[in-house]
Structure 1
Amino acid sequence: MTSPNTAPPPVIRPVILCGGAGARLWPASRPDRPKPFLKLFADRSLFQDTVLRVGGLPGARAPIVVCGAGHVSPVSEQLAELGTEALVIVEPEGRDSAPAILAAAAWIAEHDPSAIALVVASDHHLPDIAAFADAVLKAAPAATEGAIVTFGVRPSSPSPAYGYIRPGAPTPGVPGVAYVADFIEKPSPAAAAAHVADGFLWNSGNFLFRPATLLAETERHAPSLLGPVRAALAGAEREGALLRLGPEFARAPRISIDFAVMEKTAAAAVLPVGYAWSDVGSWAAIWDASIRDEADNALSGQAFATGANGCLIRAEAGATVVALGVRDLVIVVEGGKVLIADRSRTPDLKAVLDELGGTGAGPSDRDKSLE
């Protein structure tokens, strides 16, 4: 019998989800060039960092990327820059995370049945690749035995920007992995502080599971999803590395995998992890994860700060930004558009853009990128 220390790594099929417009990072992120494809920290985009992170896992096979038709070009271009081959599943219409994940799971169940699926977002910042790989290998036995494992990040501080997970009883035979007692939606600041004090974890939205397990749990808890997804796969058209789902995909209910399955299934489990992680959901989060100078400023492009502290300043090519004697600001110049905001208010940006876009004189009439 093979001991756990010498057992070969599991066969892993990474699934990378690319979706959303990333309005909270306007004006850099727009529908035609959303957050995953931006180079926010270095010479690679968040999507490219994700491809390299999952591609380096022991036992990993070529990734599957799920994206909308409008994002096929940046996905293909950025994969080519890395020299990475992938199957790109193209959604005819975005239906939230559950249909996207189920399409990939059903494809893997048919074409690569020995693999376990690792579903990750394309736009998260996770710099410690070795710690991530270690977490995946630790969670793999639980996934192989029928758990749907999510990775719960130990909070660095209370944050109302994330959902939380309350760990429950430990899973048998897999050290460190526990069943999920509760999923908690994004809380108030006071509730977030209480959750952190009680040992709750941030919900990273990344999952490891046997495709057959997820399909069976969906059949049990959200069966209306499977018919349209399976019909879309049956009617899919293959174009080289692209698999274009059939129009039946648009009949799938628009719902997240958390609401459809994870909050209902008894198979939900969590592995607590301590690595640095962010969904970089605001410019404040970008500043927090950036390399900063001695005055706590994160500068890129032709950006200059004198007597300024705690600022994030991004100047596109051809633009020059000078900040003098200011504190805790975000200044972004991109595509002829300018954002100036108190850093603490940047998580509110999407709501402000939505409000302005709904008025007759608002940005929707001048800037279709806000739609």
Structure 2
Amino acid sequence: MSLITPVILSGGSGTRLWPLSRTGRPKQLLSLTSEETMLQLTASRAPVSEGYAAPVVVANAAHVEMIEEQLTAGGLEQALLILEPAGRNTAPAIAAAALAVDRDALMLVMPSDHVIRDVAAFRAAIAAATPLAEQGWLITFGITPDGPETGYGYIQRGEELSPGVARVRNFVEKPDRATAEQYLAGGDYSWNGGIFLFAAGAYLDALGTHAPDILAAVQRSMEGATREGHRLYPNRHDFAASPSQAIDYAVMEKAERVAVVPVEMGWSDVGSWDALHAISDTDEAGNAHHGEVFAIDTERCLIRSEGPVVAAVGVSDLIVIATPDAVLIMPRGESQEVKRAVAALQKDGHITLDRAL
């Protein structure tokens, strides 16, 4: 069996963290929780120095220069970049990576924009999963819930297959709060964090069985790919012909040999400004600061500036995000509502949705 190959999915261009995250520079290319960007932190969890193969990064072609710059800064000039000509969700993206490596290569699939605080726990979970992945099982990593979260899908565990690894009994959609509370009380559910380990050939075989249209389109696109150094460009027409589907729906919910490794590793998908506040260091008043910020008689706020001085006086439970060309102010606890601001800007065709800072 060859080395484990990290496959980093960096095709996202969401705006849930607007005005900092934009289509021109999405969240995975930002430094949100440390000096390193989220992409660099993701790559550092499975480094060549620890025996992993050089990573494969599947990314939006529009971001290639920024990605190369960040990978080079992290000593990963040898990473293969598969540059999607169109977004087709995770099942086709992972298929492209699987077709670019040996069939027996184990692929550790990771989103590029998640936080994992306890990397040692993550690596222990990978070690527990590896023997079954070598036997052809498709492994997902289940995040130990810390509350009745309604924003994630859940994975129900069945019988134990080996120490720390269980057969998946069921994948379930995002629940309402009462159902989520039942899942927590039952103790046999994990959050679906979208991190996987499997052999490339096992994934391609499962995809051919359960989503053959995706496999056929991606195969054609990779057969017609062009290469420039470490950049690989799948054929635009063929890749765009693939159905757009997540790996969960295309493969994981349908395949027979699917297992889950529950792991508590300080995980967050940083899917909102509230989520960032929750994992950030705070002062004695519960404020999380970044940039030149003065918080006076202020409590429980997330205040971040990428340029202008921000002075907050006598306020509480606010999110304040300032960039050189935009300011967002909203109540804490309602940060998902940033989509309303984004919708208004989209209607106006506003440049701050696309312009990279």
Q: TM-score range by the shorter chain?
A: over 0.9
1:184 is aligned to 2:172: yes
Specify the alignment match of 2:223 in structure 1. 234
Give the 3-state SS of the residue equivalent to 1:89 in structure 2: strand
Q: Call closer, same or farther: CA 1:28–1:366 in 2, change over 3 Å.
A: closer
Specify the alignment match of 1:347 in structure 2. 336
Q: Deviations over 1:200-245 (max 9, x none)?
A: 1011100000111111111111111111111111111111110111
Q: Call closer, same or farther: CA 1:366–1:13 in 2, change over 3 Å.
A: closer
Return the offset for 1:355: 4.0
Residues 301-320 of structure 1 aligned to structure 2 (within 5 Å): 301-317=291-307, 319-320=308-309
Residues 1-371 of structure 1 aligned to structure 2 (within 5 Å): 11-55=3-47, 58-84=50-76, 85-109=78-102, 113-171=103-161, 174-199=162-187, 200-247=189-236, 248-317=238-307, 319-350=308-339, 352-353=340-341, 355-357=343-345, 362-365=347-350, 367-369=352-354
TM-score (norm 2): 0.94
Q: Call closer, same or farther: CA 1:335–1:262 in 2, change over 3 Å.
A: farther
Q: What letter matches 1:91 in structure 2?
A: E
Q: What letter matches 1:154 in structure 2?
A: T
Q: What letter matches 2:230 in structure 1?
A: A
Partner Cα distance (1:47, 1:262) in 2: 25
Return the offset for 1:341: 1.1
Q: What letter matches 2:69 in structure 1?
A: E
CA contact (8 A) 1:10 1:59 kept: no
CA contact (8 A) 2:22 2:353 kept: no
Q: Call closer, same or farther: CA 1:321–1:73 in 2, change over 3 Å.
A: same
Return the offset for 1:363: 4.0
CA contact (8 A) 2:9 2:93 kept: yes
CA contact (8 A) 2:48 2:54 kept: no
Which consecutive segments of 4 or more residues in structure 1 shift more than 6 A?
A: none
Return the offset for 1:335: 3.8
Give the 3-state SS of the residue equivalent to 1:54 in structure 2: coil
Q: Call closer, same or farther: CA 1:28–1:270 in 2, change over 3 Å.
A: same
CA contact (8 A) 1:237 1:246 kept: yes
Partner Cα distance (1:278, 1:64) in 2: 22
Q: Call closer, same or farther: CA 1:219–1:309 in 2, change over 3 Å.
A: same
Highest RCO, 1 vs 2 (Cα 8 Å, sep ≥ 6): 2
The alignment-based identity, stated in percent, is: 43
CA contact (8 A) 2:15 2:342 kept: no
Q: Call closer, same or farther: CA 1:343–1:56 in 2, change over 3 Å.
A: farther
Q: What letter matches 1:364 in structure 2?
A: G
- Please list every run of 5 or more consecutive structure 2 residues that lacks an aligned counterpart in the other structure: none
Structure 1 vs Structure 2 CA RMSD: 1.7
The count of aligned residue pairs is 352
Partner Cα distance (1:90, 1:366) in 2: 25
